[in-house]
Each structure stands twice: as C-alpha cells, then as structure tokens.
Amino acid sequence: MTVSPLAGVCFSSLGVALLFLLYAFLRGSKGLRSYIVTRVLLTLPMVLILVTIIFFVMRVIPGDPVTSELGPRASEAVREQMREQLGLNQPIWVQYFQYLSGIVRLDLGTSLIFGNRPIVDELSERLPATLELIIPSAALAIGLGVLAGTFAAEHRKQWPDYLLRLFSVVVYSIPVFWLGLIFQVTLGLGLGIFPIAGRIDPIIDISLQRHTNILIIDSLISGNWPALLSALHYLVLPTLTLALILVGVFIRLSRINVIETLVQDYITAARARGILERVVVYRHALSNALIPVVTLIGLQFSVLLAGAVLTETTFSWPGMGQYLVQRIGQRDYTAVQSAITVFAMSVAVISMITDIIYAFLDPRVQY
C-alpha cells in the first residue's frame, strides 16, 4: 500500500511527539507524569471542540457551496447530484460524524475544483512545503532573537541596547507582505541575488525524486546536490521575511528575562568568584532565561501560520497558506474546511507539546 507524503509527515510527527512524551514521562517526577497525562487528555477535547467549531461555522456562513461551484443557471437535478456527492443532503448530525470519521482516517473529502481530486493528495503537496518554510523561519527567529536580546541585556542602557530595542519594535510593526515585497525588489529584482518566487529551479526540479515533498530532505536522500543548493537558494527570502516578523518578540522577551536573571544571588556569587562577565551572561543567565522563551515558541506558532499565508502568497510559495487563499477565492468548500482543520489541529498539538516541554525544563513549577 502506498502511503501519501501527508500521512508520512503526520505519522512521523506523531512518532516524534510520542517519543518525547515517553521520555518526559519516564524521566519526570510523579507530579510531572500526572501533568503529562492530564495535558494529553485535555488536548483531545480541545481538538474535538476546534474541529466542531470549524464544521458548524463552515455551514452557517452565507453562501451555498453547490451554487458557488455550479453557478445560478445549473439545473436542480445537477445541484441535487452534487449535494448528494458532498453529503450535504444528509442530516447535519450524519454530516458531522462523517466529518469526524474522515479526519481520523485522513480522508478529508474531494476537491470541487480539480476533478474531484482527494484533498489529502493536495495537502500532501502543500503541507510539507509549509513545514519547510516554517521550521527554518522559527529557528532563525529564535536564534537571532535570543542572541540579540541577550546582547542588549549585557549592554543595558547603552547604545546597542537602544538600537536593538528600536529594531525589535520596527520589525514587529512592519506588515509581512510589505517586507516580502521590499526583499523581492531589492535583493531579488534589484541586485539579482535571490529568486523571488517558487521553491526550486524548475529545470533542476525535473531530476529530483520526491519522497517527503520537503525538498531539502528529498535532495539529501537522493544525493542531488544541485537540487539542495537550489532549494536553499529559493528558501532564503521567504524564510528571512517570516523570521523577521517574530524576531522582535524574542529580542524583547530574552532581554527582559536576562536582565531579571542577572540580579539573582547565584549570578552575584558567580561574579564574586571572578568568572568572566561574558560567561556569566551567556552560560549562567541565558540558560535560565530561556525557559519562558519555550512558552512563547508555542504561542507564536499560530502567528507563524498566519504569517505563512501572506508570505507564501507574496513569494508564490506552494504551501498551505497559498493553497488556502486560492481555494477561498475559488470557493472550494471542502478544501477550505480541510485546510483550516489542519491548521487548527496543528496549533492544538504544538501548544500541548510546548506546555509539556516547559514543565519538563522548569522543575520549580508545581502541578
């Protein structure tokens, strides 16, 4: 049986999450184990509530998906045939349980636009592209933000501190699509350094064998180094755009937490022992100041997804964000419902994992 890339990504992600949960459960205290079980059990009704809201909202918003697809001149017989095909002629509770059953089986229905193509096949192409954009963007935002915030705290009330604080406010205030356009005009069209649209050179893409549909991983698996370089080249501008909208948040959070940590007694003791200030800041203070950043990572995941919608549209990046925008414009009812469901479930699961990581890293938290 052939497993779709979407199923492979879902099962791989679930496997990694389960391994972490098992590790935290076995290594944690009794209180932590109780918290993990409770948090996992709370996530299940949270996901159920999210998909239920999506189901009913999609059915109460104005507009008929059948009329939108066929047009007002279609005969009633043709409309009834499509309603039967979509299951819209059945009672609402039957549609609801069919919807839940489809999510469990990774059967998200069929597209209304492209010849009744299964939605799972379309998302199999789009979701890996979004992950390929979000993961390096998050890593870049966290890395730059934490280091810059720590540097600002080290030079508190000096010109580097003022400059970085100003920078954090500016980049957080810039609309992501405008920032992307600026990068396209300057670094793309003006200097010709980076491509401004797509994921990979179309000529090189022909020779690349797709396994996961994450081009960097597929290039490494097949040993296609030109494809790897091309994929990284195309990834630079979208990643930089999406990362910069978050880096300001991490700068300010890291700065304030490092400043608060630097006044703790153990920091004073470390200084009294003659330890270099740079070692005190970047080894002792930073390691403890990072704990609140973990929580922010989970909270900002939804911001990354929202930013990905605009970033993918700006750079013609064929991911979930661009897919959702296109299907809304085409009034593809089942595709929009499925894409929003994937977004919502991703946020819920990431939120759960983040809470457990925070509890695992900070033993001072009581359960």
Quick: pLDDT tens for 19-40. Answer: 666 666 666 666 677 777 787 7
Residue 215 lies in a domain: yes
Domain that includes residue 79, residue range: 5-361
Q: Domain containing 276 — which CATH number? A: 1.10.3720.10
Residue 367 lies in a domain: no
More confident residue, 345 or 141: 141
Closest to 356 (Cα-Cα) out of 37, 36, 41, 46: 36
Average pLDDT over residues 175-188: 89
Residue 256 lies in a domain: yes
- pLDDT bracket for residue 11 (50, 70, 90): very low
Residue 232 lies in a domain: yes
Quick: pLDDT tens for 218-245. Answer: 888 888 888 899 989 999 999 999 888 8
Q: Is the pLDDT of residue 316 over 60?
A: yes
More confident residue, 278 or 189: 189
Residue 366 lies in a domain: no
β-strand partners of 221: none
Q: Where do runs of H (alpha helix) occur along the chain?
A: 5-27, 30-60, 65-70, 76-86, 92-104, 119-154, 159-173, 176-183, 202-205, 215-222, 225-261, 265-272, 277-279, 286-289, 291-314, 320-330, 333-361
Closest to 238 (Cα-Cα) out of 173, 321, 144: 321
Cα separation, 335 vs 341, in Å, equals: 10
Task: Write out the two tokens for 31.
Answer: 């209180």
Given a contact cutoff of 8 angstroms between Cβ atoms, the answer to whether 113 and 332 are in contact is: yes
Residue 64 — φ and ψ, nearest 5°? -110, 120
SS3 track for 140-155: HHHHHHHHHHHHHHHC
Residue 94 lies in a domain: yes
Q: What is the structure's pLDDT at 2?
A: 42
Number of independent structural domains in the chain: 1
Whole-Å CA distances, 78 to 71, 72, 232, 331: 11, 11, 48, 18
Give the position of tokens 């009330």: 157
Given a contact cutoff of 8 angstroms between Cβ atoms, the answer to whether 292 and 253 are in contact is: yes
Given a contact cutoff of 8 angstroms between Cβ atoms, the answer to whether 282 and 163 are in contact is: no
Residue 231 lies in a domain: yes
Q: What angle do CA 19, 288, 161 make, to 5 degrees?
A: 125
Residue 118 — φ and ψ, nearest 5°? -60, 135
More confident residue, 240 or 101: 240
Cα separation, 22 vs 74, in Å, equals: 55
Quick: pLDDT tens for 107-138. Answer: 777 776 666 678 888 888 888 888 889 889 98
Q: Is the pLDDT of residue 269 over 60?
A: yes
